[in-house]
């Protein structure tokens, strides 16, 4: 949440963070956190510093631009999710028309995170096909492009895939702060009542060796860096048959599906979030804000700090790298690292966690 003042009205705070201010405290879903009296000002506004401290929200200033960024809560559950109730999400379609996630109540929803800078952009056609097969049985697929470049970056891939499902643009990477998405492709499931039944996890629908535009070419035909990428991908824990089969089982069996989790299991599986991760989110949002304002060097400084604070957030890294050198997997001078550097340091087998049934 970007702020130009360290006080905020309750409605603005709720719109930006999902936390409603009630007599009993700050509330999200059925979780309420008591607030010290000093947070509520006589003029009806709220003290942001006090809220940040109470909820464990990273608060980071950019003095040169006169703004602050407030990250998501970390002091309630210590997880990316505070409740299994899906947070409010409103994002634009390609034409700018806003779409609210809660408009799909009454349907099962698979939310799929992808990006124009990921080879998973080629998978959109398969998500379109899966949606057409299962939509008559109550499933909606919502694809979300995590792209600071906005609709211009995502448009070619969305139009190529076609389909009538909601295809949304997340230029501010809200899926990270709200759902804990740190890599793509990722998916999460929301049931008919708006409750998350599977949190963010890898969501492959096709073998990445087969989905890229270079897949049909032999290794000898590829540039050296593409050969290196193919080699690293080959070490990753990816089985493209698993996730679609899980979705089909959920559509067929609903709550009885072995893959539909109880709320406490959803929270247990949600990614850990501490103060550093919340500050990383604030830094990344500040970077996006000043980048859009035309100060790209300042954005790089914020993004470098976001990478340091949350080194396992690949959406932060890959987005920033791509803005410097699109499609490059080599070391990016502005950051002193790159995709191949960091994947090799981590171990490619650890890049995507294995899906737990």
User: Within this chain, do residues 122 and 211 fall inside the same structural domain, yes or no?
Assistant: yes
User: Within this chain, do residues 195 and 152 fall inside the same structural domain, yes or no?
Assistant: yes
pTM attached to this predicted model: 0.95
Distance of CA 173 to the CA centre of its chain: 6
Residue 215's pLDDT is: 53
Residue 343's pLDDT is: 98
Q: 79, 352, 108: which is closest to 251 by C-alpha? A: 108
Residue 123's pLDDT is: 95
Residue 220's pLDDT is: 67
Domain CATH number, residue 139: 3.40.30.10
User: Within this chain, do residues 74 and 94 fall inside the same structural domain, yes or no?
Assistant: no
Rg (CA), the chain: 20
User: Within this chain, do residues 176 and 228 fall inside the same structural domain, yes or no?
Assistant: yes
User: Within this chain, do residues 263 and 277 fall inside the same structural domain, yes or no?
Assistant: no
User: Within this chain, do residues 55 and 101 fall inside the same structural domain, yes or no?
Assistant: no
Q: Where are the beta strands (DSSP E) in the chain?
A: 2-3, 7-8, 20-22, 25-28, 31-33, 46-47, 59-62, 67-70, 90-92, 98-100, 108-114, 139-146, 167-170, 186-190, 196-202
User: Within this chain, do residues 254 and 106 fall inside the same structural domain, yes or no?
Assistant: yes
What's the domain range around 169? 90-269
260, part of any domain: yes
Residue 322's pLDDT is: 98
Say if residues 184 and 114 touch (Cβ distance below 8 Å).
yes
Residue 214's pLDDT is: 47
User: Within this chain, do residues 146 and 249 fall inside the same structural domain, yes or no?
Assistant: yes
The token pair that represents 188 in the structure block: 């999460």
Distance (Å, rounded) from C-alpha 293 to C-alpha 149?
13
User: Within this chain, do residues 124 and 7 fall inside the same structural domain, yes or no?
Assistant: no
User: Within this chain, do residues 54 and 102 fall inside the same structural domain, yes or no?
Assistant: no
The parts of the chain modelled with pLDDT lower than 70 are 209-222
252, part of any domain: yes
356, part of any domain: no
326, part of any domain: no
194-232: pLDDT as tens digits: 999 999 999 999 877 565 554 555 666 667 888 899 899
Residue 207's pLDDT is: 74
135, part of any domain: yes
Domain boundary among 218, 245, 269: 269
Any idea which residue has 């899980």 for tokens?
246
Residue 237's pLDDT is: 85
296, part of any domain: no
User: Within this chain, do residues 34 and 49 fall inside the same structural domain, yes or no?
Assistant: yes
341, part of any domain: no
Question: What is the full DSSP assignment across 95-147?
Answer: TS-EEEGGGGTTSEEEEEEE-TTSGGGGGHHHHHHHHHHHGGGTEEEEEEEE-
Peptide bond into 11 cis (omega under 30): no
Domain boundary among 269, 302, 319: 269
The total domain count for the chain is 2
Domain boundary among 206, 236, 269: 269
325, part of any domain: no
Buried/exposed 132-144: b ≥16 CB within 10 Å, e otherwise: eebbeeebbbbbb
Backbone angles phi, psi at 144, to 5 degrees: -130, 120
User: Within this chain, do residues 262 and 160 fall inside the same structural domain, yes or no?
Assistant: yes
Distance (Å, rounded) from C-alpha 112 to C-alpha 140?
11
């Amino acid at each position: 949440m970007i702020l130009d003042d360290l006080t905020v009205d309750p409605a603005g705070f709720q719109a930006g963070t999902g936390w409603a201010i009630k007599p009993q405290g700050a509330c999200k879903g059925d979780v309420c956190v008591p607030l010290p009296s000093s947070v509520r000002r006589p003029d009806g506004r709220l003290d942001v510093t006090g809220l940040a401290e109470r909820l464990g929200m990273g608060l980071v200033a950019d003095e040169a631009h006169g703004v602050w960024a407030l990250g998501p809560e970390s002091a309630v559950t210590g997880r990316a999710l505070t409740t299994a109730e899906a947070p409010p999400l409103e994002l634009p379609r390609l034409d700018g028309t806003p779409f609210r996630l809660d408009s799909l109540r009454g349907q099962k929803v698979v939310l799929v995170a992808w990006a124009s800078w990921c080879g998973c952009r080629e998978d959109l056609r398969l998500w379109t096909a899966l949606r057409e097969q299962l939509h008559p049985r109550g499933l909606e697929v919502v694809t979300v492009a995590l792209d600071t470049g906005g609709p211009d970056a995502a448009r070619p891939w969305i139009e190529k895939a076609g389909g009538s499902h909601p295809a949304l643009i997340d230029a501010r990477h809200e899926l990270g702060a709200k759902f804990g998405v740190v890599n793509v492709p990722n998916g999460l499931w929301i049931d008919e009542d708006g409750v998350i039944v599977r949190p963010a996890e890898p969501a492959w629908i096709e073998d990445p060796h087969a989905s890229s535009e270079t897949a049909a070419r032999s290794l000898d035909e590829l540039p050296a860096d593409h050969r290196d990428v193919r080699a690293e991908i080959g070490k990753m824990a990816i089985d493209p048959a698993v996730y679609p089969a899980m979705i089909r089982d959920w559509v067929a069996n609903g709550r009885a599906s072995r893959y539909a989790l109880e709320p406490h299991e959803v929270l247990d599986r949600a990614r850990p979030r501490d103060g550093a991760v919340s500050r990383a989110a604030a830094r990344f949002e500040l970077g996006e804000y000043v980048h859009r304002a035309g100060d790209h060097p300042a954005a790089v400084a914020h993004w470098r700090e976001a990478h340091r604070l949350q080194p396992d957030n690949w959406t932060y890294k890959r987005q920033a790298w791509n803005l410097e050198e699109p499609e490059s997997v080599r070391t990016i001078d502005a950051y002193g690292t790159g995709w191949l550097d960091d994947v090799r340091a981590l171990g490619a087998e650890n890049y995507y966690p294995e899906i737990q049934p």
